[in-house]
Amino acid sequence: MTVYFGENVKKLRKAKELTQETLADFLGVSFQAVSKWERNESYPDITTLPAIAAFFGVSVDFLLGIDMMENDKKIKDYCDKYSRLWNEGKVAEVRDVMKQAVAEFPGNFDLLAKYMNALIQAQHNDEYVISIRPEVQKIYDNIQNHCTVDSIRIWAKKLMCRYLRDLSLIDSKRFDIADAEKILEQMPIMQNTRDYEAMYMYPHDDEKRAAACANGISEMLRLFGEIMNRKHKNFLDADGDVSEAYINLVEKVMPDGDYGKSHYLMVINHQRLGVKKYLAGDEESALEHFEKAVKLAKSYDEMPDILIHTSSAVKGLEFNKTKAYRFWEGSFYEDVKEGLINRPQLSDEFRNSERFKKILG
């Protein structure tokens, strides 16, 4: 029996403007029974279902919500495909799949936000970014005007801010960054986020409090790395000491490759630090950092979709790779390998050395 039964009985009863007592009298049951049905606390005997369906003039399948169950399965399939393709870096395919999803389920705001994300991320060139403006705006307005789920509304605001930023970078005269700043002002500050507040929710439940704090630690380490990368826009702008400090910090909190959300940032900082060491004339240290970057990229590719942390500070916390941020398509290792091969700061002689080639595999 599905939970939709109670919801459907309640909707059908109210559509006929009947009280629970009146419906109970028609069906020959107690009004307490009807009340429990509507709260999904109990269900009628299977032999009673045809009589209830006939009373309302609907099929038993409709009464049980069979169509709704099938729709839920389709929506779940779309969400699963979204995660799988996103994890594979196939953003253009994600966009096409989600476009089909919202055409089939236009009232599902989660699918709509996912489509908005894929539409924006599937950026090929400036012309494409500008061309999708009307569609992105329409989706954003739809979510803000009609969606009642705060998490989806805030996600859409975040996506719109970044999209408007991209437009302003293309043509600041046509697209003013102030439009993004107006939306930014409507978003919660860090202290008002779910992950932060959850750490204060369970003063008397050690297990839940520890889990919330573990998630907060993991998320804040990632955010710290992202902030550092944002502060230093270009690859070589960051001070090598800063990259080294971040690597050391993550290693202390989540040692032995148990990095979770910070995994890709560890790779980036080992690459950055390797280039810094190379330019400083320390080729041996540079090679060591490049080797670590490549090994970490390989280990990320080989990591299962669901990883359970073992480090004491985040022990038991689940890391879902299919939902994690990624900027590369396909294999992370191949992306890192290509990036090192084409790194302009490295000399041809260095790139052609046996040690460097061996590191890249």
Asked if residue 108 lies in contact with residue 102, where contact means CB atoms within 8 angstroms, the answer is yes
State the pLDDT at residue 1: 42
Torsion angles phi and psi, residue 108, rounded to 5: -90, 110
Q: How far is Cα 197 from Cα 125, in angstroms, rounded to an integer?
A: 39
Same domain, 220 and 180: no
Q: Hey, what are 82's tokens?
A: 């979204």
Q: How far is Cα 271 from Cα 266, in angstroms, rounded to an integer?
A: 9
Q: Hey, what are 91's tokens?
A: 């953003």
Nearest in space to 355 (alpha carbons), one of 270, 292, 294, 287: 287
Asked if residue 142 lies in contact with residue 112, where contact means CB atoms within 8 angstroms, the answer is yes
State the pLDDT at residue 61: 77
State the pLDDT at residue 140: 96
State the pLDDT at residue 174: 93
Q: Hey, what are 63's tokens?
A: 């009464």
Nearest in space to 290 (alpha carbons), one of 268, 270, 265, 266: 270
Same domain, 170 and 148: yes
Give the domain CATH number at 143. Answer: 1.25.40
State the pLDDT at residue 169: 93
Same domain, 25 and 128: no
State the pLDDT at residue 286: 95
Q: How far is Cα 167 from Cα 179, in angstroms, rounded to an integer?
A: 10
Residue range 284-296, pLDDT digits in tens: 999 999 999 999 9
Question: What's the total number of domains in the chain?
Answer: 3
145: in domain:
yes
Domain of 337 in residue numbering reads as: 199-360
Greatest pairwise CA separation for the chain in angstroms = 90
> Does the CA dihedral 95-96-101-102 come out positive or negative?
positive
Same domain, 229 and 307: yes
Which residues of the chain, if any, have pLDDT below 70?
Answer: 1-3, 66-69, 233-240
181: in domain:
yes
Nearest in space to 282 (alpha carbons), one of 292, 271, 274: 274
Give the domain CATH number at 53. Answer: 1.10.260.40
